[in-house]
Amino acid sequence: STISADKAGRVGTGPVSNPGHRFTVVIDPGHGGIDGGAEGLNGTVEKNVTLAFAMELRDKLAAGGKYDVFLTRETDVFLRLDDRVRIARQREADLLISIHADTISLKGIRGATVYTVSDKASDPEAQALADRENLSDQFAGMEIKDDSKEVTDILIDLIRRETHNFSMSFAHTLVGQLSTSVGLINNPQRSAGFKVLKAPDVPSVLVELGYLSNAKDEAQLLSADWRNKATQSITNAVALFASAKSGTGAGG
């Protein structure tokens, strides 16, 4: 029956066992619902900025007809960080891009940053940001179960390593593309222990589009022209990554 065929497609463990699998991107608009995220100088709320940007990015990625593109949320709902990771894994994502627009106590700091996951943060700012983002889960009063027993599995460790290499590779490509169109922070490629980036088998990056604590960044995030440039840069980076990944036989 059509149902069982569809189910077989869903339970496939990845591109190898699922030949119909197209390169899949999951875009994760940060925050939502009770968790508004950061608030800008002129009242811009992060959860709204991230959703609007994610929808524009989805439309641009989907327009080429080459990728399957999904959002972790399409409305103003609260999602736990592990739910976001689970959605990416269920979609058998080849890439997870989490979208954020934070605030920082130093008003002069502005520009985009690309983060990957690591046990040790690249710098204190990255550590502070990860700590803050990881607190999102406390809005729902839920404790996240530690997956350390799973992590000890050697196979998963190998998968993680490969995934991390892909994540670093995409982050590097993304910084290169964004640098041609939007302002980047100094040392734009950073890392810290973001829970939302911890899927063992999905290359993942978190993009801080800019800082809502900076009036110029806030204005840019609300500018259709700026968002168009930024989404185009990310789309270009995805295209480069997807073609490189399919060249290794690791993707569809």
Distance CA 181, CA 166 (A): 23
Q: Which amino acid is at 58?
A: R
Q: What is the pTM of this model?
A: 0.86
CA pair distance 48, 37, nearest whole angstrom = 9
Cα distance between residue 136 and residue 142, in whole Å: 10
Least confident of 57-66, 74-83, 143-152: 143-152
Q: How far apart are CA 227 and CA 209, in angstroms?
A: 9
Integer distance in angstroms from the first to the last C-alpha of the chain? Answer: 25
CA angle (244 as vertex; 17, 91 as ends), nearest 5: 40
Query: What integer is the mean pLDDT of 41-50?
Result: 96
Report the CATH number of the 21-247 domain: 3.40.630.40
Which residues are paired to 68 by β-bridges?
24
Q: What integer best gives the mean pLDDT of the chain? A: 88
Reading the block at residue 185, the tokens are 């922070």
Residue in 84, 132, 86 with CA at minimum distance from that of residue 105: 132
Q: Higher confidence at residue 4 or residue 56?
A: 56
Write the pLDDT tens digit of every residue in 72-123: 999 999 999 999 999 999 999 999 999 999 998 887 889 999 999 999 999 9
Query: So what's the pLDDT on residue 140?
Result: 72
Structure token pair of residue 48: 């709204």
Among 228, 218, 204, which Cα is nearest to 87's? 204
| In the predicted structure, residue 1 carries a pLDDT above the cut 90 | no
Q: Are strands 95-100 and 204-208 parallel, antiparallel or unpaired?
A: parallel
Judged on CB neighbours under 10 Å (0-12, 13-18, 19+), 167 is buried
Domain spans, the chain? 21-247
> Alpha-carbon distance 172 to 189, whole Å?
7
How far is residue 17's CA from residue 7's CA, in Å, rounded to a whole number? Answer: 13
CA dihedral 221, 225, 231, 237 (to 10 degrees): -120
